[in-house]
Amino acid sequence: MTVDRLNELLLVCSFVLLIAVAAVRISSRSGLPSLLVYLGIGVAIGSDGIGVVFDNAELTQILGYTALVVILAEGGLGTKWKEIRPALPQAALLSTLGVAVSVGVTAAGAHYLVGLEWRQALLIGAVVSSTDAAAVFSVLRSVPLPARLTGVLEAESGFNDAPVVILVVAFSTAGPVDHWYVLIGEIALELAIGAAIGVAIGWLGAYGMRHVALPASGLYPIAVMAIAVSAYAAGALAHGSGFLAVYLASMVLGNSKLPHSAATRGFAEGLGWLGQIGMFILLGLLVTPHNLGDDILPAIIIGLILTLIARPLSVLLTLRPFRMPWREQTLLSWAGLRGAVPIVLATIPMVGEVPESERVFNIVFVLVVVYTLVQGPTLPWLARRLRIGDNEEAADLGIESAPLERLRGHLLSTAIGPKSRMHGVEIAELRLPAGAAVTLVVRDGTSFVPSPTTVLRRGDELLVVATDPVRDAAERRLQAVSQGGKLAGWLGTGGASAPRS
């Protein structure tokens, strides 16, 4: 590697990134999932396209793990505890018992209908049985689902990578596979270790971030991401689930009201996009399209078994105790999206030199491409047909906080969204707690100091100064008025308010 070679590499990489960023706009307009665009870029650059030869499965696996850590961190930071808490039992069963059902049914179909050996069939069943975090988080940004379903899907996609990785590694080792009860014990132990480490590091990191004033606001996002990555590394080194650790640590950090939280989420979202782009393009480079012909039909058959039998059966069995309506179960069955994670996991048997591992990779690649084309664009349509949506619910209010260390206060900034019921409310009717006040309103590009009778409008941006003791109460009150309007305190919507006398 010389300086000239580095310059060429940077030019090519920046050009590819710009194309990938532009492709997001194209995919959002056409409804085509962005991951397929990125895979297509990789295939176009690869051996059957421009001619770049890349066949390093081990490097792909390492970089794929790195990207997955960043994607899980970004998803955890954006996961709201109040939405995910009621869904934890369902998500826990879906990501453990549901995965086991899906693996068994899919593997049986691959063995008896496609003719794969049991080891290869179990590998494919394990690889494709986890929902992809990147795909789920991306879809949930555009499909307005109720909070209970959003919580189940977010938690399941964050949790189920851990047991699936353990199964794939177990099926990829040389020699006989461990007994099922040994595998269950290993999965339980690794999940417990990962969960404990993730929660502990997340709590300690949040405590430190709240009590240490950094000299620049740009350091907060870097510190938060460093804490999240350290949770993965610590969990993996302790022989636990690093993926579960990073997701839980990020979720704790994201729900801890840290300074500059909105900037942190924006930084993490940018890293998440970068991870997705790099991972998908690399996976597209690894595949050789002219070798896929014989694996298209087996991939379609296995995908049908997974999508129409294994996934619905796992949802039906695991959610039966919760008496979830059939419409919601149908949507959860169809929302079991696959993405880059199964393709990355398919590199594990290639690195382990498992017999016919290249065929396993090819089948998984075709399955992901075909069924992402089918499921991704049709999920919003299915939600509308099932009359499942949250279009009438007021949007949550995003509040950015910056610490004012010397004044022992906080500067809160927020914008009134199109569905916020803060529209039409006067400043005095906000009834903020004593020690908090709206100091500035930005409207149509013009800023002014409001009076108590100033009427707020959609699109307004507010700056609120709050002393340290009432910061949380001020945030709760703003959230309450955004959801319930000026009568939030009387209507039972949460949030601190003035006495009702």
* Structural domain includes residue 368: yes
Same-domain status, 294 and 409: no
pLDDT higher than threshold 90 for residue 227: yes
Same-domain status, 363 and 451: no
Same-domain status, 211 and 327: yes
State what percent of residues in the chain have pLDDT above 90: 17
* Structural domain includes residue 300: yes
The rounded Cα 288 to chain-centroid distance in angstroms is 29
DSSP-derived secondary structure for 370-417: HHHHHHHHHHHHHHHHTT---TTSPPPPPEEEEEETTTTEEEEEEE--
The packing angle between helices 219-237 and 180-211, to 10°, is 150
* Structural domain includes residue 31: no
Same-domain status, 379 and 423: no
- The rounded distance, in Å, linking the Cα atoms of 486 and 89 is 35
Among 358, 385, 412, identify where a domain stops: 385
Same-domain status, 354 and 268: yes
pLDDT of residue 408: 66
Range of the domain at 437: 399-491
Arithmetic mean of pLDDT, 6-29: 78
Task: Look up residue 238 and give its amino acid.
Answer: A
pLDDT higher than threshold 70 for residue 493: no
- What band does 29 get if pLDDT is binned at 50, 70 and 90? low
pLDDT higher than threshold 60 for residue 374: yes
* Structural domain includes residue 256: yes
Q: List b or e across 345-369, with b for residues whose CB sees 16 or more CB atoms inside 10 angstroms.
A: bbbbbbbeebeebbbbbbbbbbbbb
- What band does 142 get if pLDDT is binned at 50, 70 and 90? low
Same-domain status, 328 and 465: no
Higher local confidence (pLDDT), 360 or 26: 360
Same-domain status, 436 and 315: no
Tell me the backbone φ, ψ of residue 298, rounded to 5 degrees: -55, -40
Among 385, 420, 452, identify where a domain stops: 385
Higher local confidence (pLDDT), 392 or 24: 24
Among 352, 385, 418, identify where a domain stops: 385
* Structural domain includes residue 23: no
- The rounded distance, in Å, linking the Cα atoms of 337 and 152 is 13
pLDDT tens track for 77-100: 888 888 788 888 888 888 888 888
DSSP-derived secondary structure for 113-177: TT---HHHHHHHHHHTSSPPHHHHHHHHTTS---HHHHHHHHHHHHHTHHHHHHHHHHHHSSSPP
Q: Is 176 exposed, middle or buried (CB count within 10 Å of its CB: 0-12, 13-18, 19+)?
A: exposed
Q: Which CATH number fits the domain that encloses residue 452?
A: 3.30.70.1450
Of the listed ranges 8-22, 139-153, 411-425, the one predicted with least confidence: 139-153
Tell me the backbone φ, ψ of residue 420, rounded to 5 degrees: -70, 135
pLDDT higher than threshold 50 for residue 148: yes
- The rounded distance, in Å, linking the Cα atoms of 380 and 125 is 27
- What band does 174 get if pLDDT is binned at 50, 70 and 90? low
pLDDT tens track for 302-338: 999 999 999 999 999 998 888 888 888 888 888 877 7
* Structural domain includes residue 9: no
Question: Is there a contact between 464 and 410 (Cβ–Cβ < 8 Å)?
Answer: no
- pTM recorded for the entire structure: 0.73
Same-domain status, 188 and 88: yes
Same-domain status, 296 and 415: no
* Structural domain includes residue 354: yes
Number of structural domains (the chain) is 2
Same-domain status, 267 and 309: yes
* Structural domain includes residue 267: yes
pLDDT of residue 489: 63
pLDDT higher than threshold 90 for residue 233: yes
Tokens of 50: 């421009």
Arithmetic mean of pLDDT, 477-489: 82
Same-domain status, 181 and 297: yes
pLDDT higher than threshold 90 for residue 357: no
Same-domain status, 373 and 404: no
Of the ranges 329-343, 403-417, 460-474, the best mean pLDDT one: 460-474
The rounded Cα 135 to chain-centroid distance in angstroms is 8
Q: Which CATH number fits the domain that encloses residue 260?
A: 1.20.1530.20
